[in-house]
Structure 1
Amino acid sequence: MRTELFMVLVRTFERFLALFIRWRKEPLMPVALLLASLGLWAFLGISDELGERETHQWDEKILLSMREPSDLAEPIGPDWLEESGRDLTALGGFTILTGLTLASIGIAVLLRRPRIAVVIAVAITSGMALVQWLKSGYDRPRPDLISHGTVVSNASFPSGHSTMSAVVWLTLGLLLARTQPSRAMRIYLISLSVLITLLVGMSRVYLGVHWPTDVLAGWALGAAWALGSWVIAVWWDRRSAALGDVVGN
């Protein structure tokens, strides 16, 4: 038994070593896989805690801290802040994300990057399907402590806006950054996509339509999905380039 376990560990180590050697020109690949795994682990951890009263109390405390104590129907801050919250939440809505996805696919096709177009289409459509499946599976009710600041029509967990904003904005940001020769531009594009994702998620809690744990789980799952899509895109590019070299020789 110990010999078999030892051999399994040796083979696993050899495979990881082979991956590191193969990806020596893409040092971020192992990091991306690690972060994607941590994101999935975080999502599963949050989902396991949904039934715990302690988590629910934490959700309620944060949600109520964003409302006027004298009138829970009103979020804290001036009227323009509430209006900004609605504008930000729209960046994670179906209409904006669908339009952005179609526009990005069109640009990739015009630039003769069909593999990027395929990755974008598959990553985002599969992400949408996954969110709907998870919502129906967990079937968590929306917050009922306060009135909602925008229209909602489905279950609460995970936050669809938070998940899909991470899937769409991060996937596009990572793929676009890969095409830029300037390191500063790559950092800027990725940082911008992360900022938009965070603002969309926070707006959902601010408007009272999601529990904080819905948003955290959505961020974790969406980021893992985006990183996984980036890894697939890089691997596909490398594989196609290698096949091209073989055919050329």
Structure 2
Amino acid sequence: MSRISVRGFAVASATAVTAVGSVVGVASGSTAQNNDAEATASGATLLADIPAGQQAQVQTASLTQQADVQAIAADASAKKDAEEAARKAAAETAIAKKEAAKEAAEKAAKEAKERAEAKEAAASRSKSAADFPVATSYTIAQIQAMARQMVPAGQFQCFSNIVDHESDWNYKAVNPSSGAYGMFQALPGSKMSSAGADWQTNPATQIKWGLNYMNDRYGSPCDAWSFWQANNWY
């Protein structure tokens, strides 16, 4: 490329930039539009120094450069917006997780307290098992009356539901297949000896054992009943 052509290339690039600025100025009402127009006119004269076949290339190169600059600026802006959105989302997520963890902890503490109270109340009531007179046989009504005096009122229905399904309140019930015994179908039945040596013949002893079992294993008779409903055993 000749000296004039090189000079023309540079001038033409400046001219293209100025021309774009002039158009923008006109669109925005800028007071600098007259000066931009003059610069464009001056540049247009110099652009004539470039051979006609190269003028389009010079103008295209200039406009391409401007487009690249604008694209880089747009990318930077988009990246900044994305980073800000990500920080905001992360902060909101952290707050939500903190609140959820707090609620879960409070719920767990409340449930633990309720189980402890139920267990304490049940343990206190179960001591009355020895207060019932021993008989050679007991009716279902008598056995249920014992249970009502030994099981906390709020837990009795759940307790009763389990006994209904396991033995129909038959304290001598035996499973012919497994050998499970008593109202709670303990397997082996001898496990109930922890509540008393008369576990085979005394419903009060079985009730004491069954209540302790439900409290120790599940937290309460109602928790045991929930498990039974989901699994058909407890």
| TM-score in same-fold range (> 0.5) | no
Q: TM-score, normalised by structure 1?
A: 0.23
Larger relative contact order, structure 1 or 2 (CA cutoff 8 Å, min sep 6): 1
Q: TM-score, normalised by structure 2?
A: 0.24
Which one has the largest radius of gyration? 2
